[in-house]
């Protein structure tokens, strides 16, 4: 099943589809083991930083081979593509989905660059995600403009984009205080916007707020910061307690923690009996 069809199906069912970033073999296997154990589909995401770190061909081969090895229904997605050139490279490399992030551009320029990516992606049968509004990136002020319903409608109609990341109170990275999502605003956007809605910055957002957002129209839920954090914090603890130099013995403990985390998230976004299943 194509990613667009899966997202449309899950939106109708009011359940989420988890999109997890991976950074190396260990983080990839951590998320895939969780999806395989629960028999859940998953979107694997790569940012430009991860592509630069691993190399495009290596990263793509890792993702594709991992999905096959673990028997997971999954899709490869470019997260926060910053240029048409990068998007084109990812389309040529066989990505199922690409994101062009023009959210910091003026509205008309965001439409222009997103429309161009949609045009290119059609030749590959690829799914396209855009972004509208202010979702703070790492190091940026968390205050900013939320996505407005009428602008979202205009943006989607003008670009033909398949999915739209919306600004409703989340930010990338951890929060200094508990975020409060604007659910009424989300509901208004969903009512007049035909595209799949995406929640960026889910790390640190209370589970009940994420579930409420899914029930109001969000489908794709991005998870990155918590994956990096639990992997590195586990490694730091292990290395303080051990003189082991064989990374093949140390890394699996951190990978296992990622699996535990992602299992919790996968159960959460199904919106089924979360409170009685995970504490």
Please give the positions annotated as active site: 79
CB-facing half-sphere around the CA of 47: CA atoms within 13 A: 13
Q: Is 225 annotated as a binding residue?
A: yes
Pairing of β 163-166 and β 127-132: parallel
Q: Is 101 annotated as a binding residue?
A: yes
Q: CA–CA distance from 149 to each of 8, 167, 182 (Å)?
A: 20, 11, 12
Q: Is 224 annotated as a binding residue?
A: yes
Q: Is 200 annotated as a binding residue?
A: yes
CA distance 150 to 272: 32
Q: Is 105 annotated as a binding residue?
A: no
Q: CA–CA distance from 186 to each of 130, 152, 163, 193, 199 (Å)?
A: 16, 11, 14, 10, 10
CA distance 220 to 33: 20
Q: Is 173 annotated as a binding residue?
A: yes
Q: Is 52 annotated as a binding residue?
A: no
Q: Is 202 annotated as a binding residue?
A: yes
Q: Is 203 annotated as a binding residue?
A: yes
- Binding-site annotation, residues: 80, 101, 131, 172-173, 200-203, 222-225
List the binding residues for dihydroxyacetone phosphate. 173, 201-203, 222-225
Annotated binding site for Zn(2+): 80, 101, 131, 172, 200
């Amino acid at each position: 099943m194509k990613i667009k069809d899966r997202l449309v199906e899950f939106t109708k069912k009011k359940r989420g589809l988890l999109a997890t970033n991976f950074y190396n073999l260990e983080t990839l296997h951590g998320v895939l083991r969780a999806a395989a154990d629960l028999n859940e589909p998953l979107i694997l995401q790569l940012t430009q930083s991860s592509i630069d770190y691993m190399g495009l061909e290596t990263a793509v081969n890792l993702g594709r081979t991992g999905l096959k090895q673990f028997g997971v229904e999954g899709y490869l997605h470019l997260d926060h593509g910053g240029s048409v050139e990068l998007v084109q490279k990812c389309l040529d490399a066989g990505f199922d989905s690409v994101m062009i992030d023009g959210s910091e551009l003026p509205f008309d320029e965001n439409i222009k660059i997103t429309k161009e990516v949609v045009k290119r992606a059609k030749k590959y049968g690829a799914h396209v995600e855009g972004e509208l509004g202010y979702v703070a990136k790492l190091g940026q002020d968390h205050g900013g403009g939320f996505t407005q319903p009428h602008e979202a409608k205009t943006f989607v109609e003008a670009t033909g984009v398949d999915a739209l990341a919306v600004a409703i109170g989340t930010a990338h990275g951890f929060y200094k205080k508990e975020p409060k999502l604007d659910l009424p605003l989300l509901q208004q956007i969903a009512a007049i916007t035909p595209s799949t809605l995406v929640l960026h910055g889910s790390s640190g957002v209370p589970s009940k707020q994420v579930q409420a957002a899914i029930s109001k129209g969000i489908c794709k839920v991005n998870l990155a910061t918590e994956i990096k954090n639990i992997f590195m914090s586990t490694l730091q603890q292990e290395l303080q307690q051990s003189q082991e130099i064989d990374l093949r013995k140390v890394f699996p403990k951190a990978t296992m923690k990622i699996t535990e985390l992602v299992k919790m998230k996968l159960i959460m976004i199904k919106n089924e009996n979360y409170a009685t299943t995970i504490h």
